[in-house]
A = this chain, B = another copy of it.
Amino acid sequence: MLYIVGLGLYNEKDITVAGLEAVKKSERVYLEAYTSILSVGKEKLEDFYGKDNIIIADREMVESDSDAILKDADKIDVSFLVVGDPYGATTHTDLIIRAREMGIPIKVIHNASILNAVGACGLQLYNFGQTISIVFFTETWRPDSFYDRIKENHQFGLHTLCLLDIKVKEQSIENMARGRLIYEPPRYMTVNQAVEQLLEIEEKRQEGICKPDSLAIGCARIGQDTQKIVAGTLEELVDVDFGGPLHSLVLIGSRMHEMEAEYVEDFACNKETFEAIVKRDYVH
């Protein structure tokens, strides 16, 4: 059996009891380590699970060598651990499709993901439109297609959850060119970086979707004890220190209703500005 086990968002104790049972009886345990992170590392998980050999599965292994992960999973138990919920990232769908083709029985053990835990910011989950991902701009590559998705949500007054880029095990162009397997330190996009990129795109496109005074909520380490949620204008959020990863950003839609506004206001870095803008541009 291939168990695909969601680990939730916080630490080693966020696994479900059913998930823990699956891991304990598995002969091989993989940890997907490039689409998200917990607040604890592999060693802590190994201690808690009573396993001393969790295998880190990087993007290359999952995408190009999935047969190694699936090896003998028709005869023995194998666990593939995913931070959040197994269906949070496209890449795990590939693994499931491959396992199905090979006739391997699969059991998915669900858990929280940012897509539902983001409700902690005070907005109702059914008022969110499509979810978008914001990638790191480089000198030469500054993609803005997600702006069109935000615009679609904006048109109907829906909130937008923005997932922020993670770069793990990336090579510098120089090292890649020279074939040196030296990796850069991991990078996690901050709320500040995401907001700066959004404001840059708005500046260029001028469609009034992500203006300096548009309201948003920066979220850091959702579901963890150090969770930090701050609401404000995009301009205000540029300067808020959210601390360590992971961060995500919610753009507030104009259809926000009063109860949502009341809840979110508690997180406002400037309650007066927040209230005034809500009154002017949101809740009607």
Which residues of A are interface residues toward B (Cβ below 8 A)?
Answer: 6, 8-18, 20-21, 84-88, 90, 93-94, 96-97, 100, 108, 110-113, 115-120, 122, 124-133, 152, 156, 158, 163, 223, 259, 262-263, 266
Contacts and interface: CB of A to CB of B under 8 A. Distances in A.
A112 B113 CA distance: 7
B18 A13 contact: yes
Nearest to A48: B17
Contact of A126 (B84, B110, B116, B130): B130
A120 B93 contact: no
Nearest to A18: B13
Given A88-B119, A122-B93, A131-B125, A14 B9 contact: no
A257 B132 CA distance: 16
Contacts of A8: 16, 110-111
A9 B112 CA distance: 11
A116 B88 contact: yes
A125 B129 contact: no
Contact of A108 (B120, B124, B152): B120
Nearest to A96: B263
Q: Which of A21, A115, A128 has the most CB of B within 10 A?
A: A115
A133 to B, nearest CB: 7
Contact of A93 (B10, B18, B110, B124): B124
Contacts of A88: 116, 119, 125
A102 to B, nearest CB: 14
Contacts of A126: 130-133, 163
Q: Which of A17, A108, A122 has the most CB of B within 10 A?
A: A17
A263 B266 CA distance: 42
Contacts of A100: 266
Given A93-B263, A263-B97, A125 B158 contact: no
